[in-house]
Amino acid sequence: MTTENQTKIWLEKIQASGYKLTGPRRIVVEILANSRFTLNPSQIHAEALRKYPNIGLVTIYRTLEKLEELGLIWRVHEFDGCHAYVAAPTGHQHLLVCRSCSRAEYFQGAEEIEPISGRLEAERGYLIQDHWLQLFGICPECRKEGN
């Protein structure tokens, strides 16, 4: 999917939800829909300021909240305890994030993860309903550069 289509689909979903898309909110949508990297609220803010010099951090947070509620973005947990965001995948996928450059990719692999759920159900007596998997590492580009 091209990022242009991605933005269009997001805008349609947001409008269908009844959320009013002001210019500043729209720029937050565009930034996230077009990013292959995880972005934290201050990075999104810095980027949005280029187009809307008056945009406040509150607008960024509120729009992020809405996008997360609509399932369009995922919250990524970082090691410093902060949060970043990334465009959500279509369907059930898992996240791979570079700790050096924040590049984000998705991967499937339900067949490898299901046995773990099955084992835990047997061992712990849980009914496992879902999982959320984020793997962190150093991407091939950053490894080349020796980061």
Q: Does 139 bind Zn ion (CB under 5 A)?
A: yes
Question: Residue 86, Cα to own-chain centre: how many angstroms?
Answer: 2
CB of 128 within 8 A of CB of 140?
no
Nearest distance in Å: CB 105, Zn ion:
10
Check residue 101 for interaction with Zn ion (CB under 5 A): yes
- Of the two residues 21 and 128, which places its CB atom closer to Zn ion in the complex? 128
Torsion of CA 57, 63, 66, 68, to 10 degrees: -80
Would you call 14 helix, strand, or coil by DSSP?
helix
SS3 123: helix
**27 is a site residue for Zn ion (CB under 5 A):** no
- The contact mask relative to Zn ion for 28-47 (x = CB under 5 A, - = no) is --------------------
Q: Decide: is 120 part of the binding site for Zn ion (CB under 5 A).
A: no
- Between CA 113 and CA 110 the distance in angstroms is 5
If the CB atoms of residues 33 and 139 are measured against Zn ion, the closer one turns out to be: 139
Contacts with Zn ion by CB under 5 A lie at 98, 100-101, 103, 110, 113, 139, 142
